[in-house]
Amino acid sequence: MNKMKAAIIGAGYSGMAAAWDLVKAGNEVTLYEADDHPGGLADGFKEPHWRWSVEKFYHHWFASDTHMLGLIDELGLSKQVLFPRPYTVLLHNDRWYPFDSILKAILFPGLGWGLNKIRFGLVGLYLRLSKNWQALEKVTVEEWMRKWAGENVYRLMWEPLVIGKFGKYYQQVNMAWMWARLHARTTRLGTFEGGFQHFADLFAEKLITEGVQIKLNTSVSSIKRESTNGKLVVESTAGSSPYDKVLVTTSPGLMARLAPDLPDSYLKGLLNLKSMGAVVLVLSLRRQLSRQGYYWFNIPKTAGYPFLALVEHTNYVSPENFGGDHIVYIGDYLEPDHAYFSLSAEELLERFAPSLKNFNPDFEMDWIKKTWVFKTDYAQPVPLVNHSQNIPPIQTPVEGLFFASMSQVYPWDRGTNFAVEIGRKAAKVMQAT
């Protein structure tokens, strides 16, 4: 196999995982990242008095995340993976009920004690055991759940989830997406000692040690074929560089802008992929918000809250890691043209703050030490019926140009585990062609 000179655009987990496999195989690898640090959508930030970083968009690993945990083991960092015991709750009749295990779900009072609970349990068991997701992508969540779980169970348990994730698209989402969530996820949630940014920094250091050149603060503007020698030229703020092969790990929309030589059919496929954005307000508090120590509050849209979820990070990992500060995320999945994308942290807080007394009646505004807001218009791909037919291949029609994004991890849901998987798949494809 001929060794290649390869460029990777994006130092998120997909890009770094691909770089790891390519450089270990003896290839020359350059990793481009527009930001001043690696990590992608799982990056973090840190105050001077914090020992750990805080993720901009709340993240955790599942015990079943074999691709992520396997890579961490290869890197020799497994001892720094932690699995604290968090508590997730669901709102019903203005009260919070534990909802983070099969037993707690069965005991959830909203289901009653009759046929609804039996159908809920049987549907969950079937989706955990079945491997035939291809049949499930032919129908929507709404159609399938109404038929097999029943109208009441669908309306109470599953409809709020798909509405919260997909907004106006909720009735178009296929059942394979729901299967993937229930089939692969566990109630055990893991994190990295020091925070996800610390892991990304350590990963980048190991890549550099292996010989990967990482260009931070370097935006790529285009990828074009050079007429004289057939190389792919990456144009960036660092100048022009030719490569044998280039892997792009950005959003489909950015990929379309970077590679104008892609044929119209491929470009159309990229641009037709739908996705939801995310807006997350992060608060640093002087006091604990949830007196019960709950970590994740799931909130149905119908409950009237101005956000989808509240996550008290320091009920998962100790506030001692953050100088005694209590870290709270308030977030929502939204269409990229939603008004929240134009609001500042102060404006979002003004909208969100009145609801915080529902989590703790004693809450006062002077509990808040600092606020941050983070936004992305590419947070949750929308999988429509027969979505497998819409997934762009890793190898694009342009020779030597490859694409790996969270839009291609389907039927699995987005997350760092499948980012690692698609990145490593891309590295194999690059070496085999």
Structural domain contains residue 312: yes
Q: Which of 64, 80, 25 shows the shortest CA–CA distance to 189?
A: 64
Q: What is the DSSP string of 227-260?
A: TTT-PEEEEETTEEEEESEEEE-S-HHHHHHH-T
Name the DSSP letter for residue 393.
P
Cβ burial, residue 35 (10 Å; 0-12/13-18/19+): middle
Check whether residue 362 and residue 340 sit in a common domain: yes
Structural domain contains residue 94: no
Check whether residue 209 and residue 337 sit in a common domain: no
Residues in the chain where the model's pLDDT stays below 70? 1, 101-103, 112
What domain range is 29 assigned to?
5-53+194-273+391-432
Check whether residue 370 and residue 399 sit in a common domain: no
Which residue's structure tokens are 């997934």?
391
The pair of structure tokens assigned to 191 is 């994190």
Among 122, 150, 182, residue at a domain's last position: 182
Mean residue pLDDT across the chain: 92
Identify the CATH number of the domain in which residue 24 sits. Answer: 3.50.50.60
Check whether residue 419 and residue 406 sit in a common domain: yes
Q: What percent of the residues of the chain are helix, what percent strand, and what percent coil, each to the nearest 5?
A: 40, 25, 35
Structural domain contains residue 90: no
What are residue 276's DSSP bridge partners?
Answer: 380
Structural domain contains residue 93: no
d(CA 238, CA 240): 7
Check whether residue 267 and residue 288 sit in a common domain: no
Structural domain contains residue 372: yes
Check whether residue 376 and residue 283 sit in a common domain: yes
Check whether residue 361 and residue 287 sit in a common domain: yes
> What pLDDT is attached to residue 204?
98
Among 343, 363, 381, residue at a domain's last position: 381
The H helix count followed by the E strand count for the chain is 14, 20
- Total number of residues shown for the chain: 433
> What pLDDT is attached to residue 32?
98
Strand order in the sheet with 326-334: 95-98, 88-92, 296-298, 309-312, 326-334, 275-285, 368-381
> What pLDDT is attached to residue 433?
87
Task: Report pLDDT digits (tens) over 324-371.
Answer: 999 999 999 999 999 999 999 999 999 999 999 999 999 999 999 999
Which residue's structure tokens are 């209590």?
326
Q: Which of 359, 301, 288 shows the shortest CA–CA distance to 155?
A: 301
Check whether residue 344 and residue 399 sit in a common domain: no
Q: Which of 309, 302, 364, 327 shows the shortest CA–CA distance to 94?
A: 302
Check whether residue 253 and residue 313 sit in a common domain: no
d(CA 308, CA 319): 24
Check whether residue 151 and residue 235 sit in a common domain: no
Structural domain contains residue 131: yes
> What pLDDT is attached to residue 317?
95
The letter for the amino acid at 432 is A
CA distances from 38 to 34, 195, 360, 407 (A): 9, 13, 36, 20
Structural domain contains residue 310: yes
> What pLDDT is attached to residue 91?
84
Classify each residue of 50-80 as buried b or exposed e, where b means 16 or more C-beta atoms within 10 Å of its C-beta.
bebbbbbbbbbbbeebebbbebbeebebeee
Which residue's structure tokens are 């791909």?
381
CA quadruple 22, 27, 32, 33: dihedral positive or negative? positive
Identify the CATH number of the domain in which residue 302 sits. Answer: 3.90.660.20
Structural domain contains residue 81: no
Is the CB of residue 56 less than 8 Å from the CB of residue 45?
A: yes
Task: Report pLDDT digits (tens) over 160-192.
Answer: 889 989 999 999 999 999 999 888 777 789 999
Check whether residue 258 and residue 172 sit in a common domain: no
Give the count of domains, the chain: 3
Cβ burial, residue 260 (10 Å; 0-12/13-18/19+): exposed
Listed in sequence order, the residues at least 6 apart from 42 whose beta carbon sits closer than 8 Å to its beta carbon are 12, 13, 55, 57, 59, 196, 200, 416
Q: What is the DSSP string of 64-82?
A: T-HHHHHHHHHTT-GGGEE
Check whether residue 259 and residue 285 sit in a common domain: no
